[in-house]
Structure formats: C-alpha cells, structure tokens
Amino acid sequence: MEAGLKWFELECLSSDKEYEGKPKINYVTVFERPGLQEFLKQISEFADLILFTAGLEGYARPLVDRIDSENRFSLRLYRPSTVSTHVK
C-alpha cells in the first residue's frame, strides 16, 4: 500500500475483438476506495446488496470477485442485463 491506498492489478478480458483467434487481455490497476470493505460489511448486515455495472462481464467479474471476496452481493448484473428502450 502506498500512502494508505489499497490497490491491485488484474488481467481482464477485453471487449475488443479477438486478436489472431485469441481473446485480448487488458491489464488494469484498481485503487479501492478507503472504507469500502467496512461499508460493505456493515450494510450487508441489513440489506441485500445488488451490484450493477455497465462493464462487460469479462472485464468486470475479476474486479468484483476481488472486491467482493466475502460474496456479499446477492446478485451481479453486467451490461447485457440492461434493457434499451427508445422513446420519441
């Protein structure tokens, strides 16, 4: 940890098309917001936690798995879970 920040690096599948028949891998560095784990612990005692991200699952799942190692989220929704409607 530097300056009290918790951070980690991850390999994630890219949303880009495959390169030479192989999935493209992105490397990301994630800085966890201070107090996140304590917040999740406390709020999960009285609420069902549902995570929604507009990120694709290949990118977001490894990150969420790392942040939510205690499996506090009862449901995880990724970009394909969204419904698009067009209103004129």
**In this predicted structure, what is the pLDDT of residue 47?**
97
Q: What total number of domains does the chain contain?
A: 1
Q: pTM of the prediction? A: 0.68
**In this predicted structure, what is the pLDDT of residue 72?**
97
Closest C-alpha to 58, from 75, 31, 78, 74 = 78
Q: Confirm whether 46 is domain-assigned.
A: yes
Task: Supply the CATH number for residue 16's domain.
Answer: 3.40.50.1000
Range of the domain at 35: 6-81
Q: Confirm whether 1 is domain-assigned.
A: no
Computed over its alpha carbons, how large is the radius of gyration of the chain?
16
Question: Cα-Cα-Cα-Cα dihedral of 66, 69, 73, 75, to 10°?
Answer: 70
**In this predicted structure, what is the pLDDT of residue 38?**
95
**In this predicted structure, what is the pLDDT of residue 50?**
97
Q: Confirm whether 16 is domain-assigned.
A: yes
Q: What is the mean pLDDT of each run of 10 residues along the chain (88 residues)?
A: 61 64 75 90 97 87 90 94 72
**In this predicted structure, what is the pLDDT of residue 27?**
78
**In this predicted structure, what is the pLDDT of residue 73?**
97
**In this predicted structure, what is the pLDDT of residue 25?**
75
